């Protein structure tokens, strides 16, 4: 029998109750907020879809680095091309973990190689390349299309919020233009509501194109997230959801409102449903949860279903 309750993939319990109560309190009754103030922000990797064994964008970039090393084999002698060519992705995973621990030395190496791939490419050509990747690629361990590696409970939450007058934004450390080709199809969030890290851009009058420049503009992570939220929306959201140390500032930012809800997804599922448990990169966020009254979403306890059915 079909479950007709709100948030059907969420298990009954205090977390689901907290979400329903909060949404009810801001969308109905004498203390309801105007719809314009019902803004919600969501991280992407590890929050709306799986980020293990590596973020989806990194999967795409690794394939591009492999192609570049075929054209110029000397690239394979240095990172991150060595990792891409050999298939030993531990260096790449370590670079991400070091970033969450506050060390961006290897991340800078990765960004430099990324800039080399896109310099002079038009935004339309990049979007077409990314769209092709989403069409053909499969998740490395789940073996399913990335459209089915999204978290079903989070998609239900997005729809539930929309049904109660919320406007949802993605605010991610991932590349803004890598996310835009898929967010409307996967999450129902249009590209103009996607906030993310960005490469530099330039306008070429001869070709009448916006192109990527040989520069990195900004990394949308940590304290940068509230800044980018304000720059884009001109508002302090009332709901935020993240999963990592880089989301703490965003989760705290919404709490400047009289009414707010901060959700922290905890990947603690050891039941073999495809979302392996891990705390790496989320240690500070989990430690801050009690102090800052984050509502911790346990994948193991709070989600009765993790991924969409095929």
Helix (H, G, I), strand (E, B) or coil at 211: strand
| Domain ranges, residue 85 | 56-136
Give bridge partners of residue 171 from the DSSP assignment.
195
Whether residues 100 and 241 fall in one domain: no
Q: Is residue 309 included in any domain, yes or no?
A: no
Tell me if 140 sits within 8 A of 10, measured CB to CB.
Answer: no
pLDDT mean over 126-147: 96
- The span from the CA of 120 to the CA of 131, in Å, is 19
Q: Which helix (H) or strand (E) holds 279?
A: none
Tell me if 246 sits within 8 A of 225, measured CB to CB.
Answer: yes
Quote the mean pLDDT of the chain. Answer: 94
pLDDT band at 310 (very low <50, low <70, confident <90, very high): low
Q: What angle do CA 189, 246, 231 make, to 5 degrees?
A: 55
pLDDT mean over 252-272: 97
Ranking 24-38, 104-118, 239-253 by mean pLDDT, the lowest is 104-118
- The span from the CA of 261 to the CA of 238, in Å, is 6
153-179 pLDDT, tens digit each: 999 999 999 999 999 999 999 999 999
Whether residues 35 and 60 fall in one domain: no
Res 100 pLDDT > 80: no
pLDDT at 152: 98
Phi, psi of 243 (to 5 degrees): -145, 0
Q: What angle do CA 40, 128, 86 make, to 5 degrees?
A: 95
Whether residues 32 and 162 fall in one domain: yes
- Over pLDDT 70: what percentage of the chain? 99
Q: Is residue 239 included in any domain, yes or no?
A: yes
pLDDT mean over 136-149: 96
pLDDT mean over 264-268: 98
Domain containing residue 156: CATH number:
3.40.50.1000
Helix (H, G, I), strand (E, B) or coil at 200: strand
Whether residues 164 and 21 fall in one domain: yes
- The span from the CA of 147 to the CA of 194, in Å, is 17
Q: Is residue 278 included in any domain, yes or no?
A: yes
Res 274 pLDDT > 70: yes
Q: Is residue 3 included in any domain, yes or no?
A: no
What burial class does residue 218 get, using C-beta atoms within 10 Å of its C-beta: 0-12 exposed, 13-18 middle, 19+ buried?
Answer: middle
- The span from the CA of 226 to the CA of 229, in Å, is 5
Q: Is residue 108 included in any domain, yes or no?
A: yes
Whether residues 190 and 259 fall in one domain: yes
Distances (CA, A) of 263 to 96, 288, 310: 22, 12, 27
pLDDT band at 115 (very low <50, low <70, confident <90, very high): confident
Whether residues 179 and 296 fall in one domain: yes
- The span from the CA of 257 to the CA of 175, in Å, is 28
pLDDT band at 259 (very low <50, low <70, confident <90, very high): very high
Phi, psi of 131 (to 5 degrees): -60, -40
Whether residues 128 and 251 fall in one domain: no
Q: Is the peptide bond before 80 cis (omega within 30 degrees of 0)?
A: yes
Decide which of 136, 171, 206 is a domain's last residue: 136
Decide which of 103, 136, 169 is a domain's last residue: 136
183-235 pLDDT, tens digit each: 999 999 999 999 999 999 999 999 999 999 999 999 999 999 999 999 999 99
Q: Is residue 310 included in any domain, yes or no?
A: no
- The span from the CA of 76 to the CA of 79, in Å, is 7
Whether residues 285 and 185 fall in one domain: yes
Whether residues 43 and 83 fall in one domain: no
pLDDT at 205: 98
Whether residues 151 and 232 fall in one domain: yes
pLDDT mean over 266-270: 97
Whether residues 193 and 220 fall in one domain: yes
Helix (H, G, I), strand (E, B) or coil at 49: strand
Q: What total number of domains does the chain contain?
A: 2
pLDDT band at 2 (very low <50, low <70, confident <90, very high): low
The residue ranking higher by pLDDT, 94 or 157, is 157
Decide which of 95, 116, 136 is a domain's last residue: 136
Q: Is residue 8 included in any domain, yes or no?
A: no
Phi, psi of 6 (to 5 degrees): -60, 145
Instruction: Identify the top-confidence range among 100-104, 108-112, 127-131.
Output: 127-131
- The span from the CA of 3 to the CA of 169, in Å, is 27
Whether residues 125 and 153 fall in one domain: no
pLDDT band at 97 (very low <50, low <70, confident <90, very high): confident
pLDDT mean over 22-44: 97
What burial class does residue 162 get, using C-beta atoms within 10 Å of its C-beta: 0-12 exposed, 13-18 middle, 19+ buried?
Answer: middle
Q: Is residue 18 included in any domain, yes or no?
A: yes
Q: Which helix (H) or strand (E) holds 167?
A: strand 167-175
């Amino acid at each position: 029998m079909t479950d007709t309750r709100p948030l059907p993939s969420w298990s009954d319990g205090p977390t689901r109750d907290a979400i329903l109560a909060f949404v009810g309190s801001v969308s109905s009754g004498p203390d309801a907020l105007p719809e314009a103030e019902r803004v919600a922000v969501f991280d992407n990797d590890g929050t709306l879809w799986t980020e293990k064994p590596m973020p989806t964008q990194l999967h795409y970039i690794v394939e591009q680095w492999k192609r570049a090393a075929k054209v110029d084999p000397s690239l394979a002698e240095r990172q991150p091309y060595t990792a891409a060519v050999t298939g030993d992705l531990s260096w790449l995973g370590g670079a991400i973990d070091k970033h969450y621990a506050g060390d961006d030395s290897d991340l800078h190496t990765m960004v430099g190689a990324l800039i080399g791939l896109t310099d002079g490419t038009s935004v339309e050509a990049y979007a077409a390349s990314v769209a092709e990747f989403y069409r053909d690629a499969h998740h490395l361990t789940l073996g399913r299309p990335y459209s089915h590696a999204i978290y079903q409970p989070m998609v239900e939450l997005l729809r539930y919020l929309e049904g109660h007058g919320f406007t949802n934004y993605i605010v991610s450390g991932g590349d803004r233009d890598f996310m835009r080709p898929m967010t409307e199809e996967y999450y129902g969030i249009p590209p103009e509501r996607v906030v993310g890290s960005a490469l530099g851009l330039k306008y070429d009058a001869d070709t009448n194109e916006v192109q990527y420049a040989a520069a990195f503009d900004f990394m949308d992570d940590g304290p940068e997230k509230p800044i980018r939220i304000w720059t884009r929306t001109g508002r302090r959201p009332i709901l935020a959801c993240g999963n990592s140390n880089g989301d703490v500032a965003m989760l705290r930012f919404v709490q400047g409102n009289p009414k707010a809800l901060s959700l922290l997804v905890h990947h603690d599922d050891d039941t073999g449903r495809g979302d392996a448990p891990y705390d790496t990169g989320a240690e500070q966020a989990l430690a801050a949860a009690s102090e800052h009254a984050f509502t911790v979403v346990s994948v193991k306890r709070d989600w009765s279903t993790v991924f969409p059915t095929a």
